[in-house]
Amino acid sequence: MTTPTSTPTRTLGAHGPIVGAVGLGCMSFSPIYGGFDGVDPDEVIGRALDLGVTLLDTADIYGPFTSEEVVGRAIAARRDEVVLATKFGIRPRVEGDRVVMDVDGSPAYCRQAIDGSLARLGTDHVDLYYLHRPDTTVPIEETVGAMAELVEAGKVRYLGLSEASADTLRRAHAVHPIAALQTEYSIWSRDIEDEILPTCRELGIGLVPYSPLGRGYLTGTVASAADLAEGDFRRTHARFSDEALAANRAVVDVVAGIAETHGCTPGQVALAWVLGRGGDVVPIPGTKRVGYLEENAAAVAVELTDDDRARLDAVSVDIPRSQDAGWINRSTPPLAG
């Protein structure tokens, strides 16, 4: 495995914050991936900062609230080393025996949500504030207008969107500069390349890919749904059915073969591919373990050859798009991302 090193920096967007080239997704510090009992979040997040992994990404819905509380405690003594990102716009409610996620991009909820996040995070400002999902019932101009008020009030430094279309990006950016778009992007999820990624580059918006390791699949550690912990939300997704995992095995085999050639791990190859898509790309792999954190941070040192990239590109386009059904629904948000 490539040895951990100090993470180089990248700038998010044309005028956004300077962050480590690899960030840390903090959804793991919630029950979504089966909980984090036996894990010390302070140790993981402290090690991230030691390595120059400065972009910490959370959201009020992760838990809900658990991840923000954990992150807030972990960074209390090192706040000035962190580029802190969180999100609002998804509200949970109990309906019978299930929890329903409602999208709420109203200006009133925007103003309410930031104060809750600041209290849980133990800070007076968030460096990057995302709308978690666009609300189809509220014009994006109204939502971003309210978010811009938070910038003026000093509660937020930069604005971002998550899972937004190219048209939504344009309309939002016309109201206030958008520093970053967070969306899924990896070797096995490349649908943003047709329209969304070019729009980001036209407007000077940085890209923050979540699930750059295919939610763990590209590491080669998930051969069947039985490998996932009870309570892990991936058990409910189409791409983690045994049939889909078997059908996509070819991409894992190619990644593993390239990793063996470079003397690194498959996860590092997957991250190196994402990092190589442009200097405006800052992936945020999530983990709750120091060993995986160090592995992810060290991916910046993996140099893929043109042949490596050609092989990865070739196998990735063969992944059946139909398996995205239920994976991301841009109008009905899942918890992740």
Q: Is the pLDDT reported for residue 329 higher than 60?
A: no
Burial of residue 314 (CB within 10 Å: 0-12, 13-18, 19+) is exposed
Distance CA 175, CA 152 (A): 13
Task: Tell me the residue length of the chain.
Answer: 337
Kindly indicate the confidence band of residue 42, based on its pLDDT and cuts at 50, 70 and 90.
very high
27-55 average pLDDT score: 91
Kindly indicate the confidence band of residue 303, based on its pLDDT and cuts at 50, 70 and 90.
very high
The percent of residues above 90 in pLDDT, for the chain, comes to 73
Q: Is the pLDDT reported for residue 327 higher than 90?
A: no
Separation of CA 245 from chain center:
22
Q: Is the pLDDT reported for residue 315 higher than 70?
A: yes
Catalogue the E-assigned strands of 64-190: 83-88, 90-95, 98-103, 126-131, 156-162, 178-184
Q: Is the pLDDT reported for residue 331 higher than 50?
A: no
Look at 61-65, 131-135, 161-165, 179-183 and tell me which has the smallest mean pLDDT. 61-65
Q: Which residues contact 200 (CB under 8 A, 6 or more apart)?
A: 169, 181, 206, 207, 280
Distance CA 56, CA 44 (A): 11
Look at 40-54, 57-71, 246-260 and tell me which has the smallest mean pLDDT. 246-260
Q: Which of 139, 141, 202, 204 is nearest to 172 (CA)?
A: 141
Question: Is 158 a catalytic site residue?
Answer: no
For residue 54, the model assigns a pLDDT of 98
Q: Which of 33, 62, 217, 292 is catalytic?
A: 62
Burial of residue 176 (CB within 10 Å: 0-12, 13-18, 19+) is middle
User: Average per-residue pLDDT in the chain?
Assistant: 90
Separation of CA 135 from chain center:
19
Q: Is the pLDDT reported for residue 328 higher than 90?
A: no
For residue 333, the model assigns a pLDDT of 37
For residue 319, the model assigns a pLDDT of 66
Look at 81-85, 162-166, 231-235 and tell me which has the smallest mean pLDDT. 231-235
